[in-house]
């Protein structure tokens, strides 16, 4: 999600013509003063170099996956933040009216989930899902192995993962004032430079000691990461810039999926 800069082009022309009377030749002169205002662009991209479409299917205790939402600044210094949302992906849920075929004949086992596609606001469920997300500082997008401490294919207990932060705390700081259950804001520290990159987290792990009840609570969900940026120029600090970004978001004028020319 991107913020574009206002553009303008101004041209001022000054033409001077001096005539010397009679039939004599004319002395002429022409001079241009052109003030050019070049367009400023703001363009960020987000991708997951090591995540595949099927990586989130059929997960079981002991599953370790690479998931590396990486934000790249294509043009212009900016203030940037990442918003992580945990979204309910279950289309149906058990029908509380159903008992069994003999006691409730004709009653459907499942019903449409009214929370499908919505941010999960159940704190126990959201916090359980958040414990699956980790950042390994040895991450190297192009290297082998990509992460050295949390190794894909290896199994871990919940306690073994306890020393790893949820997100990249070197580059991001958690904004508790903006966050709520199921929606978490992480502000990039300082100015996000042109051509800079930052990975928010690196792995999703289902601990091998998770029980059937743990898996039932997790259910089907999505982890959605959105990157937002606003120009750094003409703002005194990040707080001022993010306040302006909030206003753009509320007004619905935050440009989405912009690609620079």
Average pLDDT for 78-104: 90
Q: Output the pLDDT for position 8.
A: 41
More reliable by pLDDT, 11 or 249: 249
Among 21-35, 115-129, 135-149, 156-170, the range scoring the smallest mean pLDDT is 21-35
Category of 221 on φ-ψ map: left (φ > 0), alpha (ψ -120 to 50) or beta: beta
Confidence bin at 36 (pLDDT 50/70/90) = very low
The answer to whether 41 and 229 have CB atoms below 8 angstroms apart is: no
First to last CA, the chain: 16
> Would the pLDDT of 10 be above 50?
no
Rg, the chain, Cα only: 27
The answer to whether 129 and 218 have CB atoms below 8 angstroms apart is: yes
> Would the pLDDT of 119 be above 70?
yes
Query: Alpha helix locations (H) across the chain?
Result: 123-130, 212-218, 238-251
Q: Output the pLDDT for position 116.
A: 94
Instruction: Tokens for 187, please give them.
Output: 């502000």
Identify any residues that bridge with 82 across adjacent strands, giving them in sequence order: 186, 227
DSSP 123-186: HHHHHHHHTTEE--TT--TTSSSS-SSS-TT----TTTTTTS-SS-TTTEEE-TTT-BTTEEEE
Q: In 24-129, which ranges are E strands?
A: 27-35, 43-47, 64-66, 70-75, 78-88, 92-94, 110-112
Taking the C-alpha atoms of residue 169 and residue 137, their distance in angstroms, rounded to an integer, is 9
Average pLDDT for 5-16: 44
Taking the C-alpha atoms of residue 193 and residue 232, their distance in angstroms, rounded to an integer, is 10
Helix (H) or strand (E) holding 10: strand 10-18
The burial class, CB within 10 Å (0-12 / 13-18 / 19+), for 228 is: buried
Helix (H) or strand (E) holding 203: strand 203-205
Among 9-23, 30-44, 66-80, 182-196, the range scoring the smallest mean pLDDT is 9-23
**CA distances to 76, 139, 140, 154 from 160, in Å:** 40, 18, 21, 12
Q: Output the pLDDT for position 242.
A: 92
Query: Alpha helix locations (H) across 14-159?
Result: 123-130
Confidence bin at 33 (pLDDT 50/70/90) = low
């Amino acid at each position: 999600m991107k913020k574009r800069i206002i553009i303008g082009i101004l041209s001022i022309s000054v033409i001077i013509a001096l005539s010397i009377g009679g039939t004599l030749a004319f002395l002429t002169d022409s001079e241009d003063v052109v003030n050019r205002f070049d367009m400023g662009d703001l363009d960020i991209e987000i991708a997951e170099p090591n995540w595949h479409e099927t990586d989130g299917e059929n997960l079981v205790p002991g599953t370790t996956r690479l998931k590396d939402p990486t934000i790249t600044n294509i043009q212009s210094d900016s203030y940037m933040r990442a918003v992580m949302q945990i979204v309910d992906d279950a289309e149906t849920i058990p029908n509380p009216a159903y008992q069994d075929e003999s006691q409730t004949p004709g009653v459907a086992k499942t019903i449409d989930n009214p929370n499908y596609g919505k941010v999960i606001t159940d704190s126990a469920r959201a916090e359980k899902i958040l414990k699956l997300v980790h950042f390994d500082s040895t991450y190297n997008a192009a290297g082998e192995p990509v992460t050295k401490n949390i190794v894909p294919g290896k199994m871990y207990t919940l306690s073994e993962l306890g020393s790893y932060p949820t997100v990249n705390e070197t580059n991001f700081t958690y904004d508790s004032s903006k966050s709520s259950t199921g929606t978490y804001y992480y502000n990039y520290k300082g100015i996000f430079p042109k051509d800079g990159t930052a990975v928010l987290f690196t792995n999703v792990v289902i601990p091998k000691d998770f029980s059937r009840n743990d898996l039932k609570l997790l259910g089907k969900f999505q982890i959605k990461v959105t990157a937002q940026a606003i120009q750094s120029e003409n703002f005194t600090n990040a707080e001022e810039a993010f306040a302006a970004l909030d206003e753009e978001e509320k007004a619905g004028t935050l440009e989405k999926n912009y690609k620079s020319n």
